[in-house]
Each structure stands twice: as C-alpha cells, then as structure tokens.
Amino acid sequence: MPSAASPGGNPRAAATADEWIGLRGHVLDAPESGRLRSWREGAVLFDPATGRITETGEYALLRRRPRTAKVRWLGGPEWLVMPGLIDVHAHVPQYPAVARGEGELLPWLRQAIFPLERDFSKPRALVQAPRFFHELARHGTTSAMLYSAIYEESTDAAFEAAAARGLRIALGKVMMDVGSYGPLQPRKILTVSLHESEALCRRWHGANGGLLRYAFAPRFAVSCSERLMRGAADLARQYDAPIQTHLAESAGEIEKVRFQFPWAKDYTDVYDRCGLLGPRTVLGHCIHLSEREVGTLAAANAKVAHCPTSNLYLGSGIMPLDRWLAAGLTVGLGSDVAAGPELNMWAVMRSAVESARARTFFVPDARPLRPAEAFHLATQGGARALGLDGVVGTLDPGREADLVALDLHALLPYGTGAAAGPRPGELSPQDLVALCVYRGGPAATALTFVRGRCVYRAGEPTPMADVPVEPGGSGI
C-alpha cells in the first residue's frame, strides 16, 4: 500500500533559501459557490520563505517553467491538493465530551458541558490543547474560530498550543456574568471578565506573525448582562478584533432571551442594540430567525456559522441555508464540537448537504446543496466568514499557502491499485469532491500546511504532554 506522506520525501526537512515546494496531484478549489476549479494532473507551488502560493496549474507546464528557485516535488497522481479546511465555530474545552449527554441545548449545557468547562484549568489545557490543535491539523483544518472556557490562564495555554502547532486561529475566552457554570462556578463578575478578555487580546491579537487573533466571546445572551455585551463590543471595536457568539439555536434559548430582555424586538435585536453586530461578528447557528432578523444581520454584514452536525445532535433544528444565502448572508461551516461530535469538516459538509436535502422533503421550494457547494462553504466561505478573504480559501497565487493534501487511496473503497475500480484520473472533479464529503476524514489526510509550513504529516503521533492533570479530576 502506498504510504501517504512518502512520495517525494519529507516536507519538514529544512528548505534551502530559495527552494519552493510543489504539491502534485489532482488540484481542486471552489472560488465561487457551484464552480469547481480543477487541474487533473496539477500542482500547487509555494515558497516556504514567504508562505505564499507562487504558481498553480498543470504539472507538465509548471515542471518545465524556468525559474530561479529549485522545487522539491511531493505527491503524485494519487493525491488531491486543496485549500485547507476552515472551521468557523468550535469549543476547545468541550472536545472530550463529544457524543455525550442527551437533551436539547440548555439541559445539555448544564449537564454535559458546564462541569467540564469549569474544570478547564491551566494544567488541563496544557495537556489537552496541544492534542486539540494536532487533531485539527490531522483533519486537514488549517483555520478555526474557537471558544475556550472562562479562564484567562487556560486560554493563554490554548493560544500557546495553537502557536506551537502553527495553525491560523481566532480564539477567545468565554464571557459569562449571568448564571455562568452554575452553583459551583468560580466567580467571574462583569469587570473581571472584561479585564481578562482585554488582557488576553493585548497579548494574542496578531501574535505569531498574525496567524493568531483574539475573538471576544460573550457566550450568548442567556449568560450575559447587557453591560457585559456592550463592554465586549467596545473592546472588539477598540482592538479591531472579531466577536463570536451564539444566536437563535434552540426554542428554549429564544424563550429565555425574550424573558431576560423584554425591551428587545427579538434575539438579534439584543445583540444589535448592544453593538455586537458588524462585519467581524460570527454568529453560531442562526436557525430560528425572522425576516427582520435576517435583514438586520445582512445590513450589518455579520457572518453566520452553520453547524449542521450540532444542530442535528441536539435536535435544535435545520437551518434554512438556502434562504440565508439568498438573503445575502455570508456563511461558513462549524463543527461546533462538542455539540457536533467530530472536528471532521468533511463530516460537517456531508451534514450540510443532508440537512439541505432533508429540508426539501417538507419545504416545497427548498434548494438542495451540492457537495461542491458545501466544499466552497468550508473553504472560501469560511475565509470570508473569518475576514480572511483574499488571504486563504483558494489556490490563487499570492494567497497564503494553507493547504491540505489527501490520499485518494484512503478514500476509494478498494484503494487505487489495479482493478480496484476507477483510476484516479477517471473521476470528475465533482465526483472527487463528493468522495471527500462522504468519506473524507483524518485517515485520508497526507499533509497539512499553514502559511507554507507543514503542520501535520500522515502517521504523526499525538503530542503527549508530560504535565499531569491535577488530582480531583473532571466534574464529568
């Protein structure tokens, strides 16, 4: 069996001063919804010194093109080369609780999530966060917008782990001053929450050469006072930093918001009046919205994180993706781990396709979503949602080289050997993307690059931190 990362040598071997890397394979991206661009025997070249893509096109042409830089070629006909995947919504401390707990959002948070997040201390983060970012890279995810728990120290540890892995990460500590983690909560009053968030923002926003950003994270209106939300909005404005929160995920949540904020027209209006809506705001879920709310989000150019695996796991509902896109909203895809059971963005794409399909069963004019459109949402759509449009998301020369190479051998039922079925060259770009959407996952990831640096190669072991988890254990 071919070994995934072997063709062409070791991507981590030090590059000489003007040595570029060329990833060969079936090259694919989706610069616009519904339009796949592909080079069947293609290649993507990048310069590790600048971290940028230099050339994309036919391998036969690029191989012969004169240039001063030497090229180290990796890959071959069994590889797919694509933009790195973008996860616009997940929770770092929650990963150990995937597929745990039952019930809808609010009881699930209380029973399965808050006890775990409450214990996301620094020692715990030192063990878990390096593994979390290794997991992201192993799944081919190069960029993500993430929540930590309410603590400053463990959020620092998570940022350090993101920097060590070299991923492109927006992260923020959860802000809550109403209810918080329940009766045993550590006290995190309004001023402490704002002060700690600002301190983290000062340390991390723009760190690691701009790969890291601070994302202010008022959890959702249910757990925030109006003053906390206004304070978070002010800080985000002051530091040009993104904001992330949850909106209109479940019926129970919406009912609570109506009760807590009687002055608001609706849930979206709470965030609007607190100054939280703008082009750098990413709102998780957005399932149950009125026309008025969608209009408000579109006018603010706020971004939507569509989290279909989570929405089905918690029974929150099916987001009318086709309507939100038609209304002009920018949408990216989120795993929403741990309400979504996997960090696997291919599984999230599949769930987006299947959710849209399910809607057509009971909404007469609903539009299905094709795998290629889901792939667009997880790459260029995610880049737009995170304000990285023009930076990553496609394979255009000049973009930063955030890339994933997949091994077709691991995707096809009988591999790529003789008489095993279609040869790689016989599959259309649409078929290849559908194969990834329906069968893709970490087993197929050969290499992952961020800004031209290899952040994962197949078979790499999980990082083992030598710091023990403190005695007393998790509340779960």
Give the one entry of Fe ion, ligand GUN, none that residue 220 binds, where binding means its C-beta sits below a cut-off of 5 to 8 angstroms depending on kind: ligand GUN
Q: Are 403 and 81 in contact (CB under 8 A)?
A: yes
Which residue has the CB atom at the shortest distance from ligand GUN?
339
Residue with Cβ nearer Fe ion (338 or 455): 338
CB of 78 to ligand GUN, least distance (A): 37
CA dihedral (225, 382, 445, 78) in degrees, to 10, reads: 170
Q: Measured from the CB atom, is 91 or 168 closer to ligand GUN?
A: 91
Q: Which does 380 bind (CB under 5 to 8 A by kind): Fe ion, ligand GUN, none?
A: none
- Per CB under 6 A, does 339 bind ligand GUN? yes
Residues 441, 403 contacting (CB under 8 angstroms): no
Q: Is 47 in the site for Fe ion (CB under 5 A)?
A: no
CB atoms within 10 A of CB 296: 19
Site track 302-321 with ligand GUN (rule: CB under 6 A), x = hit: --------x-----------
Q: Which of 419, 420, 439, 441 is nearest to 431 (CA)?
A: 439
Name the minimum Å distance from CB 350 to Fe ion: 19
Tell me the two tokens of residue 224.
Answer: 């925030």
Structure-token pair, residue 107: 């009881």
Angle at 382 between CA 376 and CA 385, to 5 degrees: 130
* Shortest Å, Cβ 397 to Fe ion: 35
> Could you give phi then psi for residue 336, rounded to 5 degrees?
45, 35
Binding partner selected for residue 113 from Fe ion, ligand GUN, none, CB under the kind-specific 5 to 8 Å limit = ligand GUN
Residues written for the chain: 476
> Would you say the C-alpha torsion 445, 451, 452, 455 has a positive or negative sign?
negative
Task: Indicate which of Fe ion, ligand GUN, none lies near residue 168 (CB less than 5 to 8 Å, by partner kind).
Answer: none
Distance, CA of 137 to CA of 457 (rounded, Å): 9
Q: Which of 220, 267, 375, 449 binds ligand GUN (CB under 6 A)?
A: 220
Give dist(CA 366, CA 401) in Å, integer.
36
Distance of closest approach, residue 237 Cβ to ligand GUN, in angstroms: 23
Q: Which of 179, 181, 170 is nearest to 217 (CA)?
A: 170
Give min distance, CB of 143 to Fe ion, in A.
17
- The residue with tokens 């949602």 is 385
456 closest CA partner among 404, 399, 401, 411: 404
Q: Is 253 in the site for Fe ion (CB under 5 A)?
A: no
For ligand GUN, the closer of residues 30 and 287 by Cβ is 287
Task: Tell me the closest approach of the beta carbon of residue 339 to Fe ion, in angstroms.
Answer: 6
Q: Which of 152, 198, 336, 354 binds ligand GUN (CB under 6 A)?
A: 336
Identity of the residue, 83 or 93, whose beta carbon is nearer to ligand GUN in the bound complex: 93
Q: Considering only residues 232-291, where is the footprint of ligand GUN by CB under 6 A?
A: 246, 249
φ, ψ for residue 141, nearest 5 deg: -90, 125
In the complex with ligand GUN, the residue whose CB is nearer, 26 or 219, is 219
Which parts of 408-427 interact with ligand GUN (CB under 6 A)? none
- Strand 35-47 to 52-58 pairing: antiparallel
Asked if 119 interacts with Fe ion (CB under 5 A), we say no
Q: Choose among 124, 120, 165, 119: nearest CA to 142.
A: 165
Question: Among ligand GUN, Fe ion, none, what does residue 399 contact (CB within 5–8 Å per kind)?
Answer: none
Sheet of 141-147: strands edge to edge? Answer: 85-91, 141-147, 168-172, 212-214
What DSSP element (H or E) covers 316?
none
Q: What are phi and psi of 401, to 5 degrees?
A: -85, 75
Residue ranges of alpha helices (H) inside 418-472 are 429-439
- Give the residue with the Cβ less far from ligand GUN, 62 or 264: 264
Applying CB under 6 A, does 366 fall inside the site for ligand GUN? Answer: no
The position carrying tokens 């879920």 is: 285
Site for Fe ion in 254-313 (CB under 5 A): 284
What type of residue sits at position 305? A
Q: If contact means CB under 5 to 8 A according to the sort of partner, which of ligand GUN, Fe ion, none does residue 219 touch?
A: ligand GUN
Single out the segment in contact with Fe ion by CB under 5 A; choices: 15-23, 28-36, 335-343, 351-359: 335-343
In this structure, the number of other CB atoms found within 10 A of the CB of residue 41 comes to 16
- The one among 26, 173, 188, 219 contacting ligand GUN by CB under 6 A: 219
d(CA 64, CA 350) in angstroms, rounded, equals 39
Question: If binding is defined by CB under 6 A, does position 47 make contact with ligand GUN?
Answer: no
Which residues are CB-neighbours of 118 under 8 A, at least 6 positions away? 149, 181, 182, 184, 185, 186, 475
Q: Does 117 bind Fe ion (CB under 5 A)?
A: no
Q: Binders of ligand GUN: how many residues, by CB under 6 A?
A: 11
Residues 90-129 that bind ligand GUN (CB under 6 A): 91, 105, 109, 113
261 binds, options ligand GUN, Fe ion, none, Cβ within 5 to 8 A by partner type:
none
Q: Mark out the alpha helices in 176-225 (DSSP H runs).
A: 190-204
What's the closest the beta carbon of residue 98 comes to ligand GUN, in angstroms? 12
Total of residues contacting Fe ion (CB under 5 A)? 2
Out of 55, 336, 400, 407, which residue is the one contacting Fe ion (CB under 5 A)? 336
Interface contacts to ligand GUN, rule CB under 6 A: 91, 105, 109, 113, 219-220, 246, 249, 310, 336, 339
Interface contacts to Fe ion, rule CB under 5 A: 284, 336
